[in-house]
Every structure is written in structure tokens, then in C-alpha cells.
Chain A
Amino acid sequence: MSTPTVMGLLGAALSAIGIYGLMVGRDALARLLAFNLLGGGVFLVFGVVARRGAGAGFGADPVPQALVITGIVVAFSATALAVALLRRLAELREKARAPRPAPEGEA
């Protein structure tokens, strides 16, 4: 089997692991990690398309490569936002569990 075929099948497998983890993940971190695994797998399938499009002196078609670079950075933005939301949620949960200090502290 050629490298693109192996890596394409790997991309499919990683996407499947990501989907499964996204659905059955027992906590928010598991689902966030699964979402990123899924992204990695899909990008890899893209990379295989790029590799097969090699030509004109380039090892791989540059257009899908550029799209994947864009995608990786966008996936990071989404992950960072999700992590900030998770940390804020944890903070609020902790605050809700702690005994209320004084009624005038409330807005």
C-alpha cells in the first residue's frame, strides 16, 4: 500500500475515533479532545488529496495544504474559546457550591 492510501485510511480511523469519543465522552474535556482528534483525521484526508495532487515540481498540491494550515489555526481558536468557557463554568460551579458569604455582596 502506498503512503497516501495508508494515511488516508488512518485519517478515516482517527475521524471515527473522534466521532465516537465526541458522542460517548464522559466529561467535557473528553469531548473537547475528541473534537480535536476528529479535526486531525479530517485534515489528514485532506492531506492525502494534496499528496495525490503532486505535480508541477511540487511534492503536494499547495492549495489543500494552505487550507489545512488555516483549518489548524481555526481549530485552535475554537478550542481556546471552549477551554475558557469550561474554566468559567468550573469557577461558577465552585462558587455555587461554596456557602454564601454575605447578602450585600450580591448585586
Chain B
Amino acid sequence: MSLLLDAPLALVAIAVAIRAVAGGDAFARVAAFMAYGLVLGFIWVRLAAPDVALTEIAVGGGITGLVLLQAAGDARFSRERGVGLLYHVCAAILALGVFAALAAVVLLLPEPAPSLAPQVATNLPATDLGNPVTGVLIVFRALDTLLETVVLLVALIGVWSLSPDPLWRGRPAPLWPAPPSGALDFLARVVVPVGVLVGIYLFWAGADVPGGAFQGGAVLAAMALLAIMAGLMPAPALGGRRLRLALLAGPFAFLGVGIAGWFVADAFLDYPDGITKPLIIAVEVAITASIAVALALLVLGPPAGRKA
């Protein structure tokens, strides 16, 4: 019975994956990739991982797709190299080898499966969180999440560094060279307020049910991008003080609480008893803001215009 649901999902995933790497129109390939993100989202639901499903659809398919669409519309791709038949055969053999190895790993996974779920269940009550994935992200593996917010920041600095020095504090180029459109304006005016609410809800509800800082931040970033695209709001000047504060709030709040952990609790990134929940919320608010701003700015790209 479950195969009846899983097999079509798997086949569709493989079909859109092949379409995404096969040749042809750049837009069609990126559209196939966005469909791939959506199908993977459904598959994550089948694997009982709704938090990952939300992230995959919002970040993996949606925002990544938006960035790739820009590349498809903007950059002219030249077929830079025609590879020989021998090379194709070698690549195919390597790909088959990877498939065989991973398939063997999947089929020969140890029984009973190793799991950290019991440890998480034992320690989760101390955090006052109901969603174990949020617990792992913010408390048990906080170092990973801290470094991840730093990775976002480093990637953003990398993107910005592609523009010449005089533009460094300027505004990014418009997302879409489209003429003003009544439909887009209407969409932005109706959806942005609702979407901002949904983003905040996703973040807030993430403490106890699927959701969290990444999913909420992605929705908030998408709403900002929609408002900018519709012309309701100008693209921000990248030298703005408030913007940069918002970018740094997450990593530094995390780092501050982490270092304070050395003195008032037992270790780096340890939360002191009693005020665990308020501290977690404070850190989460800061990283949600930083993630939202960083995601939106990564999509907007390097500064292109003069400071206005």
C-alpha cells in the first residue's frame, strides 16, 4: 500500500531530476529543479520529517530556485566544452558506482538502527521546547546553527565583494526588469501582510510544532522580495546601519549567550537553568531576523547602483 504512494513520488523525483540536468532551455531546467524541490518536500513528509519538508520547499526549492532563475535569465551560457564519448562512459561508470555504494549502504543499514532520539527525549523537557528538531538546532547542536548563520554571512560578503569598491554601499540591481504591473502590485499588497504573519507564526510555532527560525525566516525573506519586486519598497542600500545590525544580530546574540554560558552556566553555549526559555526565544528572534535579511540579500545580489 505504501509502495503505491512511494513509487510514483520516487519516479516523478527522478524524472524532474533528469529534466533539470538534461540540455535545453535554461528556464525549463530551473523550473524542473523547482519542481524537484517540491517533490522532495513531499518525500520528506513521507519520512516523518515535516520540519525538513518545510525547509526544503521554502529554501531548497523556492529561494534557491529564485536565485537560479536570475542566473537563467541573466547569464548567457555558452556550451563551453563538448566532452568525448570516453569521458561520458567514465562519468556513467562513476555515477553507477556511487549509486551501487549508496544503495548498498541503504540496504545494509544496521538493525536495530542507531538513534539519538531517546537522548533527545530525555533532555528535551529541560529546554521547555516541544519540537525536538528545534531543540537540537538551538540547544543540543547549537554550535552547528551558530556556524551556519556565520556561513550565510560569509556567503553574503562573497557576493557583495563581486562589485567594484565605489558601489559597495549602494543598492542591488532590480530583481526583475519588468514593467509595472497591476497584477503584481495587487498580489504584493494582499499577500505580503498575510505572509509576514505566516512567517512570524512559523517561527513562533516552531518551538512546539514543525516550523522554526529557518522556515519562518525564509517566508519573511520571500515577502520582502515580493514587496521589492512589486515596487512597494525600494531595494535597501547595503551600507545601511540598521540593515547591517539586523544581519549581525543573530550570530552575535548566539555568540553572546554562548560566551555567557561559560560564566553563568557550565559550558560554552550552555543555557543557565531557570531562564532557559526566555534566552532561547531571544536567540531565536535574533537569528530569525538575521536569516530573513541574509536570505533576501543573497537573492538580491551584489550592489549595483549608487548610494541613494
Contacts and interface: CB of A to CB of B under 8 A. Distances in A.
Do A and B pair up? The answer is: yes
B145 A81 contact: no
Interface string A1-39: 111111111111111111111011111111011101100
A44 B43 contact: yes
Contacts of A1: 3, 6
B98 A16 contact: yes
Main secondary structure of the interface of A (DSSP, over half): helix
A88 B59 CA distance: 23
A78 B113 contact: no
| Category for how many chain A residues contact B | 35 or more
A78 B68 CA distance: 12
Task: Tell me what chain B mostly uses at the interface: helix, strand, loop, or mixed.
Answer: helix
B121 interface: yes
Interface in A51-86: 51-63, 65-70, 72-81, 83-86
A17 B6 contact: no
Given A26-B81, A52-B113, A73 B148 contact: yes
B115 A70 contact: no
A24 to B, nearest CB: 5
A95 interface: no
Contact of A72 (B7, B56, B70, B291): B56
Interface residues on chain B, size class: 35 or more
Contacts of B37: 40
B68 A83 contact: yes
Interface in B256-300: 291, 295, 298-299
Given A7-B10, A33-B68, A86-B71, A72 B121 contact: no
Nearest to B96: A16
Contacts of B191: none
B113 A62 contact: no
Interface stretch (B129-137, B222-230, B246-254): B129-137
B49 A30 contact: no
Interface of A: 1-21, 23-30, 32-34, 36-37, 40-41, 43-45, 47-63, 65-70, 72-81, 83-90, 93-94
6 nearest A-B pairs in the assembled complex, by CB-CB distance: A59-B48, A8-B106, A53-B115, A21-B21, A12-B102, A56-B121
25 contacts: A10-B43, A16-B96, A19-B94, A24-B87, A27-B77, A29-B29, A33-B21, A33-B29, A33-B68, A34-B21, A45-B105, A53-B114, A58-B117, A62-B132, A69-B133, A69-B137, A72-B52, A74-B148, A76-B59, A79-B67, A80-B298, A81-B158, A83-B67, A84-B159, A87-B74
